[in-house]
Structure 1
Amino acid sequence: MSQIANEPASLSPVAVSRPVSLGNFGAMLLLALVWGLSISVTKLGLITMPPLTLTAIRFAVAIPFMMLLLIGKEPLPWKALPAVASLGVLGIGVGQVAQTFGVAGTSASIGTILSATIPLFIVLFAMIRLKQAVSISQIVGVVAAFAGIVVVASENAGDAGVAGTTALGPIWMLVSALAVAFYYVWSVELTNRYGTVVVATWSTVFGFVALVPWAGWEAHHTSFELTGQALGAAAYLGLAVTAAGLFLWLRILRDVPASIAASVQYLQPVFGIAASAIMFGDKIGPQFLAGVALILAGLAMALRVRSPKQGDAS
């Protein structure tokens, strides 16, 4: 993976006018699939393992593979340590931990709807912090895609869904959505300066270090069973979702504006609910298909880019 420290394309408003390549679109679809399975896989792991312990094992699995990718890379400057460490604590200590508690405290359908707010927050933070331009059609597309998520998820949001949701579960999911969205937008600035691999790896290490004492306390005070299913879930979350997924997402953000990249992630809950149907027996019927159609229509609008006119200042 090459380091493109001097090409901060995604920090520029001009990026919104550049077409999305077939390769980048394929990468976004793959990432939506990988991340879409994460909630269902997390629920499998939480059957026998408490939240902090599962999260800690997940990152313990991911970090050794991420460290291998540092070979041959420029070391992280000392002046960057506070920012990268804070990024890791935010993304893992707040974002991922809150998500695990949220998944444990919500039904699959309600958790899906709330996790789908991440792209909305990414677009908002990108507009504010990265000064990225967002067109009206993209905003309408994002809203339409989110409406499709509500349609898809509500098919399984009956009495069982409400019964599976605690008072704090939705709050944890929203806290996670805010933290994760800001983590990804903030990552763009740091990766432009120090490289994707370096920032992603060290932020994960710092986040894991902050998590370990809490996970140790939980493991000491909570009885749990270390099953093959739980370890398999932690391995998938660590290798596919964390290591491979994080690098893929950060690389996408280097070439694709956050408003467009985030909109494709609305397919993530579609894959997730399909996985829940296989794993937990959730329903997939006409309402699911109607919601998917609405999501795809929203994506089609969100992916439209404005051709720059001659003489445009931007």
Structure 2
Amino acid sequence: MLILAVMWGLSIPVTKLGLESLPPLTLTAMRFAIAVPLLLVFAVGRHPLPRYAWPRVAMLGVLGIGIGQVAQTFGVTGTSASVGTIISATIPIFIVFFAALRLKQHVSGWQKLGLLAAFAGIALVAFARGHGAATISETTAAGASCVLLSALAIAFYYVWSVELTSAYGTATVAAWSTLFGFIALLPWALWEMWHVPFHVTTPGVSAAVYLGVVVTVAGLFLWLNLLRIVPARVAASVQFLQPVFGIAAASFMFGDRLGPSFVLGVALVLAGLALTMASRNEEGNGAQRSNVR
């Protein structure tokens, strides 16, 4: 659980590092060009994906990668690594509420309060100015909005994937949805490569490899194996540790300074996460069983 929290917690700071030399769509395309073959290898010999399921799985991939991951990468260009990390940490909160809408799961009053606390925290961390707030990369409203859009899209991706993984298996759906999402992204990434000057650097390639191999592939299978040996409620505690490691890494890598408003916002987001997840029972954890970055 600790290793997984570190792996996923570093995803936003590493993305920020990669964006110093690579444009957003190019970095995202490189990430999934690395991840897709590995995911397909793991899917070989498992439940085959019938052709009638292709459109739904393709739409799932476009949502998760074409909207979720692309919006996250663009958002990180307009936020500090610390702000991007804490906004991204709200994904499990949105999972609960999308599960209520699509899977008809009950939402308690505490969970609603958790959502309000999380939004208040997002507002504080996204729009803090001065007082020691992160200054290496000034956070813009557009950047914070993109990361929030990413959190919403990825949360809905996880909830929607529950229906498909129950029918065709997690590895199969993860591999094929990622492939379809990558195919949809590729023309735009090629256009960007042609029109936007960039330099292929060791930090940029290393960031793409880390995001593809460690965050996407290794994180997925470590999470699935974790769910087999510990209760989902215990495994979910990874969500509390991710932003801690992410913010610490952002402070170390980019010198982000955390002012009082930012610290209060982080506390509100973590409180919202605690309220949302503490009142979930084991039967309501179906959506979270697909929770991968």
What TM-score, normalized by structure 1, do the two folds share? 0.75
The question of whether the paired residues in 2 share the 8 Å contact of 1:145 and 1:299 is answered with no
**1:116 corresponds to which of 69, 73, 89:** 89
Distance across 2 between alignment mates of 1:210 and 1:226: 23
**Is the Cα contact below 8 Å between 1:109 and 1:156 reproduced in 2?**
no
Q: Aligned letter for 1:302?
A: M
Find the aligned partners of 1:144 and 1:242 in 2 and give their Cα distance: 29
CA change 1:306–1:179 in 2 (3 A) is closer
The 3 A distance-change label for structure 1 pair 127 and 68 is: same
Inter-CA distance 263–155: structure 2 relative to 1 (3 Å threshold): farther
Q: What RMSD in Å do the two structures reach over aligned CA positions?
A: 3.7
Q: 3-state SS of the aligned residue for 1:225?
A: coil
Structure 2 residue 269 is the aligned partner of structure 1 residue 274: no
Query: How many Å apart are 1:135 and its aligned residue?
Result: 3.8
CA distance 1:215–1:256, shift in 2 (3 Å): farther
TM superposition shift of 1:115? 2.0
Q: Counterpart in 2 of 1:46?
A: 19
Q: 2:270 matched to which residue of 1? A: 295
Q: Structure 1 residues 306 and 185, CA, compared in 2 at 3 Å: closer, same or farther?
A: closer
Q: Deviations over 1:179-218 (max 9, x none)?
A: 1111011111110010000000000000000111111110
Deviations 1:34-89 (A, max 9, x none): 22211100010000110000000000111111111122212101111000000001
Report deviation, 1:283.
3.5
CA distance in 1, matches of 2:152, 2:258: 29
Q: Which residue of 2 aligns with 1:222?
A: 196
Counterpart among 132, 149, 154 of residue 180 in structure 1: 154
Q: Point out where structure 2 has 5 or more consecutive residues left out of the alignment.
A: 284-293
Q: Which has the greater radius of gyration? A: 1
The sequence identity of aligned pairs, in percent, is: 59
Number of aligned positions between the proteins = 280
Give the structure 2 partner of residue 4 of structure 1.
none
The reply to whether residue 195 of structure 1 matches residue 195 of structure 2 is no
Shift in Å, 1:168: 2.4
1:78 is aligned, of 39, 51, 54, to 51
Task: Please point out which of 100, 103, 109 is paired with 1:130.
Answer: 103
Secondary structure at the aligned position of 1:170 is classed as helix
Relative to 1, partners in 2 of residues 1:79 and 1:291: Cα closer, same or farther, differing over 3 Å? closer
1:113, distance to aligned residue in structure 2 (A):
3.9
Query: What's the TM-score once normalised by structure 2's chain length?
Result: 0.80
Q: Could you tell me which of 59, 74, 79 is aligned with 1:101?
A: 74
**Which ranges of structure 1 fall in alignment gaps of 5 or more residues?**
1-25, 309-314
Does the 8 Å contact 1:48/1:230 carry over to 2? yes
Q: Give the deviation of 1:178 after TM superposition.
A: 1.6
Paired letter, 1:185: V
- Say if 1:149 and 1:266, in contact at 8 Å, map to a contact too: no
Aligned 8 A contact 2:62 2:180 in 1: yes
